[in-house]
Amino acid sequence: MAMAQLGVAYQRGGSSLSNGFDCSGLTSYVYKKADITLPRTARDQYAFTERVAKANLKPGDLLFFKIRSRKIDHVAIYVGDNTFIHAPRPGERVTYAKLNDSYWRRHYVGAGRVPGSHHVDLADSNR
């Protein structure tokens, strides 16, 4: 589900294929396709999820970052092999990134697993 969104344009406040996505709009959209409702913001999604150690990440887990502030302001979907999908910033499109890249390592806060998501592969390429 997450991989099917690759290439969709970034749109601040966006949460749909037709209008584009911001980071938490993307995660909300993907989980909604699996009939799971997430809070709207990255910060609220962090509070909603159960903490997961980096060594125990599974596809579909959410990754959280502090980019522009001291509070969580970015979220991504882990797809496996140290890789995640996210809606980066205005002017860009939904894309892959590597968690072990120095930029992302520096801003990484932690990971969370959405309650009730253990049965769904949210990183799957099917819409």
CATH number (domain holding residue 59): 3.90.1720.10
| Residue 118 belongs to some domain of the structure | no
CA dist 87 and 100 (Å) reads 18
pLDDT of 76: 98
pLDDT of 126: 42
23 is catalytic: yes
Q: How many domains does the chain have?
A: 1
List per-residue pLDDT tens for the chain, 127 residues long.
787 888 888 999 989 988 999 999 999 999 999 899 999 999 999 999 999 999 999 999 999 999 998 999 999 999 999 999 999 999 999 999 999 999 999 999 999 999 988 756 666 644 3
pLDDT of 125: 44
pLDDT of 127: 36
| Residue 82 belongs to some domain of the structure | yes
| Residue 21 belongs to some domain of the structure | yes
Q: In the chain, what is the straight-line distance between the N-terminal and C-terminal CA atoms, in Å?
A: 5
Convert 39-73 to b/e letters by CB count within 10 Å (16 or more is b): eebbbebbeebeebeeeebebbbbbbbbeeeeebb
74, 107, 118, 119: the active-site residue: 74
Domain that residue 91 falls in: 3-113
Task: Kindly calculate the radius of gyration of the chain based on its CA atoms and give it in whole angstroms.
Answer: 13
| Residue 126 belongs to some domain of the structure | no
86, 107, 118, 119: the active-site residue: 86
What does DSSP assign to residue 18?
T
| Residue 125 belongs to some domain of the structure | no
86 is catalytic: yes
| Residue 40 belongs to some domain of the structure | yes
| Residue 101 belongs to some domain of the structure | yes
23, 107, 118, 119: the active-site residue: 23
| Residue 121 belongs to some domain of the structure | no
- What are the tokens at 125? 């390429």
